[in-house]
Amino acid sequence: MYLNDKPVVKSRRSSIKKRLLSVAFHSGLVRAGRGLWADSLTVLNYHRIGDVSQDGFDTFKPTVSASAEGFAAQMDYTLRWFNAVSLGDVVRWLDGQAKLPPHAALITFDDGYLDNYTLAYPILRERNLPAAIFLTTGHIEQDVPFYWELLAYCFYHTGRDAITFPNGAQMQWKDAAERNRVAMDLAESLKVLPEDEKAAWVSRLASTLDVSVPGGFFRNLMMTWEQVREMSRGGIEFGGHTVRHPILSRVSLERAGAEISDSKARVERELGKPVLGFAYPNGGRVDFNREIEKLAEQAGYRTAFSLINGPTSLREIKRNPFAIRRIFISHRHSIHEFAVLTNWVNRYRRD
């Protein structure tokens, strides 16, 4: 199923890449072109904060953006090399009521995981840094798992050694490493399914893998509305990220419009203040389009964010404030990689 040398080759390439990035970071090359990209907005995208190396970590590792220590280091780097702005600052600039500083940066989180409150919020507060969190409202205070979290939990706890993919392929594993690779392949396979087909397939996953999920487990991964309100009082801004996290280009425009507007209405009802921003689930080029951008605008959002890589020039944002780029942060990124990712050259990088 997998060539034995692939993980080794990948590991060697990763090691070489990290050494080259370290050289670039310490030599100053990473920051050499800052002046060429001063009139831009660099938007950082986080999901979870946590330690994936801890024993018993049984949820989806790719959603973990950084450890608490790593996040703190990244925020210190942001303070040193950028001018942090709030979502409100961006909207006021769009309205012509304020200017954005050079090298503006906006810190964002998606989904509404509990560790945004327990780990990220204290770090942000200590540094007086603003941030915006885009909430998937149907998962807040609900024991409703994101499909990738359920998948990770079931694969971690299953005693089985095989599964049939949606396309009919039979996948087997002999050890934890192979099992994890199969889980990642399955997550990618599910991502491209039509939403209704995906939901039906995921609903059978626990029984397929003969796993019993404890009641309340997934509710405890997410923030409560009271925690959201507390953070809002503390200066954190909140936006919409749909109700159930469908990839909007894979559902009808009617459903997409409801997902976009209903999440906004719920956040506004809970917080009693206007919601300014929206983030597209998954956020790649094929995951939203101009029609979906118009739905966000019609719902009353002032701006919306993708996960297309890199900073966005202010001219681009003025032309279309509903497709602002963001930089996806992973727990695998060293501080040197973070420095490269947040540099203007990242617009032209190919992975």
Domain termination site, one of 160, 183, 208: 208
Is 168 among the domain residues? yes
Is 14 among the domain residues? no
Residue 343 pLDDT? 83
User: What count of other Cβ atoms lies within 10 Å of the Cβ of residue 346?
Assistant: 17
Domain termination site, one of 186, 208, 230: 208
Co-location of 227 and 194 in the same domain = no
Co-location of 187 and 301 in the same domain = no
Is 23 among the domain residues? no
Q: Find the DSSP H helices in 6-139.
A: 6-27, 68-81, 87-94, 114-115, 121-126
Residues 6+ apart with CB under 8 A from 85: 41, 100, 101, 104, 105, 106, 130
User: Which pTM does this prediction carry?
Assistant: 0.91
Q: How many domains does the chain have?
A: 2
Co-location of 85 and 188 in the same domain = no
Co-location of 65 and 204 in the same domain = no
Co-location of 229 and 323 in the same domain = yes
Co-location of 168 and 134 in the same domain = no
Output the domain CATH number for residue 331: 3.20.20.370
Co-location of 195 and 253 in the same domain = no
The rounded distance, in Å, linking the Cα atoms of 291 and 296 is 9
Residues 6+ apart with CB under 8 A from 203: none
Is 62 among the domain residues? yes
The rounded distance, in Å, linking the Cα atoms of 258 and 186 is 28
Residues 6+ apart with CB under 8 A from 69: none
Residue 1 pLDDT? 25
Co-location of 198 and 339 in the same domain = no
Residue 38 pLDDT? 84
User: What count of other Cβ atoms lies within 10 Å of the Cβ of residue 69?
Assistant: 11
Residues 6+ apart with CB under 8 A from 211: 153, 154, 157, 158
The boundaries of the domain holding residue 173 are 147-208
Residues 6+ apart with CB under 8 A from 234: 121, 125
Residue 4 pLDDT? 30
Is 9 among the domain residues? no
Q: What tokens appear for 336 in the block?
A: 């040197």
The answer to whether 299 and 264 have CB atoms below 8 angstroms apart is: yes
Residue 157 pLDDT? 96
The answer to whether 155 and 179 have CB atoms below 8 angstroms apart is: yes
Residue 58 pLDDT? 94
Co-location of 228 and 272 in the same domain = yes
Residue 7 pLDDT? 39
pLDDT digit string (tens) for the chain, length 351 residues = 222 333 334 455 556 656 665 665 665 666 665 666 789 999 999 999 999 999 889 999 999 999 999 999 999 999 999 999 999 999 999 999 999 999 999 999 999 999 999 999 999 999 999 999 999 999 999 999 999 999 999 999 999 999 999 988 899 999 999 999 999 999 999 998 998 999 999 999 999 999 999 988 999 999 999 999 999 999 999 999 999 999 999 999 999 999 999 999 999 999 999 999 999 999 999 999 999 999 999 999 999 999 999 999 999 999 999 999 999 999 999 998 999 889 866 655 544
Is 317 among the domain residues? yes
Q: Closest by alpha carbon to 335, among 18, 34, 79, 13?
A: 18
Domain termination site, one of 163, 181, 208: 208
Co-location of 41 and 183 in the same domain = no
Co-location of 202 and 239 in the same domain = no
Co-location of 286 and 336 in the same domain = yes
Is 39 among the domain residues? yes
Is 304 among the domain residues? yes
